[in-house]
C-alpha cells in the first residue's frame, strides 16, 4: 500500500491517490496539474502545517502589499507586476531576476489552484526577505488552473534562496492549506479592504 504524505482532502477526509490516478494529473505538454491544494502540498512534499502556531505573524503580510482592482491581460503581465512591486518594496534587489524565477516556476507547472485563486511563487537570490503579495483583479485572468476556471486572486510568495528549505515550504504549505477553507476563500473574495485581506492571511501564517 502506498503511503500518503498529506492525508487531507478539501473536505478534511483522508486523501491518498494510487499511482494510476496520479498519472492522470498530467496536462498539456506533460505539465503537472494537481487536483486540489492538498494534492499540491503532497506533490511538492511539503510539511503539513501544525495547528499550534510557533508565534504570531500578525504583520507578515502588510496592507501595502495587497493590490486591489488590478488589470492584467495575461499571466506574464501578472508575474511582471509582482516582480516590479517586490523591487519597489525593497523585497527584491533585481526585478528581472525575480520575474525570471516566477516564470521558470510557472513553466515547471501551473500555480493556478481552484476557486479563482493562484499562488505564483519562487525562491531567488534576488529576494532579500520572505514576503507575500496579494493581487485582486478587476477582471478574471485566463490561467491554467486545477478546476479550469479563470483567476481572480493571486497570492504570491517570494523567498530568498537561503530559506528555500524552511520558510519557503512552510509558507507554501500554509497558504495551500488556507485555500482549502471555504471561509478563508469567501473572506478574500468578498472584501476589497486591504487591511482585512492582510489580517485574514496573517492569521494562517506561522514560521
Residue 46 has pLDDT above 50, yes or no: no
Residue 170, judged by CB atoms within 10 A of its CB (0-12, 13-18, 19+), counts as buried
Concatenated DSSP letters of the chain = ----SS---TTSS-----HHHHGGGB-GGG-B--SSHHHHHHHTTPPPPPSS-SS--TTSS-GGGEEEEE--SSHHHHHHHHHHHHHHTTSBS-HHHHHHHHHHHHHHS--B-STTEE--EEEETTB-S-EEEEEEEEEEE---BTTS--EEEEEEEEEEGGGIIIIIHHHHHHHHHHTT-HHHHHHHHT---HHHHHHHHHTT---
| Interval 171-175 mean pLDDT | 86
What's the predicted TM-score (pTM) here?
A: 0.74
Which of 5-19, 103-117, 179-193 has the weakest average pLDDT?
A: 5-19
Q: Identify the band that residue 206 occupies on the pLDDT scale cut at 50, 70 and 90.
A: confident
Q: What is the pLDDT of residue 66?
A: 98
Q: pLDDT band at 202, cuts 50/70/90?
A: very high
Task: Give the closest residue to 145 by CA, choosing from 115, 102, 175, 174.
Answer: 115
Q: What is the pLDDT of residue 106?
A: 96
> Between residues 136 and 43, which one has the greater pLDDT?
136
pLDDT for residue 92: 96
Determine the pLDDT at residue 59.
73
Q: Please give the pLDDT value at position 60.
A: 80
Q: Model confidence over 49-97: pLDDT tens digits?
A: 433 334 344 578 999 999 999 999 999 999 999 999 999 999 999 999 9
- Asked if residue 127 lies in contact with residue 91, where contact means CB atoms within 8 angstroms, the answer is yes
pLDDT for residue 145 is more than 70: yes
Average pLDDT over residues 152-180: 85
Residues 124-141 have a mean pLDDT of 95
- What percent of the chain has a predicted confidence (pLDDT) above 70? 70
Q: Please tell me the predicted confidence (pLDDT) of residue 58.
A: 55
Report the pLDDT value the prediction gives residue 16, as an integer from 0 to 100. 34
What is the model's pLDDT at position 108? 93
The stretch 137-147 carries a mean pLDDT of: 94
Domains of the chain: 63-202 (3.40.930.10)
Amino acid at each position: 500500500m502506498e503511503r500518503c504524505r498529506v492525508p487531507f482532502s478539501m473536505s478534511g477526509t483522508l486523501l491518498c491517490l494510487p499511482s494510476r490516478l496520479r498519472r492522470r494529473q498530467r496536462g498539456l505538454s506533460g505539465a503537472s496539474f494537481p487536483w486540489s491544494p492538498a494534492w499540491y502540498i503532497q506533490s511538492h512534499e511539503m510539511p503539513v502545517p501544525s495547528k499550534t502556531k510557533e508565534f504570531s505573524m500578525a504583520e507578515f503580510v502588510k496592507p501595502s502589499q495587497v493590490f486591489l482592482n488590478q488589470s492584467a491581460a495575461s499571466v506574464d503581465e501578472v508575474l511582471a507586476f509582482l516582480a516590479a512591486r517586490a523591487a519597489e518594496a525593497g523585497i527584491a534587489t533585481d526585478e528581472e531576476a525575480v520575474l525570471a524565477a516566477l516564470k521558470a516556476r510557472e513553466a515547471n507547472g501551473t500555480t493556478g489552484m481552484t476557486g479563482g485563486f493562484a499562488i505564483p511563487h519562487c525562491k531567488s537570490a534576488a529576494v532579500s526577505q520572505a514576503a507575500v503579495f496579494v493581487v485582486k483583479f478587476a477582471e478574471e485572468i485566463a490561467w491554467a488552473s486545477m478546476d479550469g476556471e479563470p483567476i481572480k486572486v493571486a497570492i504570491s510568495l517570494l523567498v530568498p534562496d537561503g530559506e528555500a528549505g524552511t520558510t519557503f515550504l512552510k509558507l507554501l504549505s500554509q497558504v495551500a492549506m488556507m485555500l482549502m477553507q471555504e471561509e478563508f476563500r469567501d473572506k478574500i473574495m468578498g472584501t476589497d479592504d486591504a487591511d482585512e485581506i492582510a489580517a485574514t492571511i496573517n492569521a494562517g501564517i506561522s514560521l
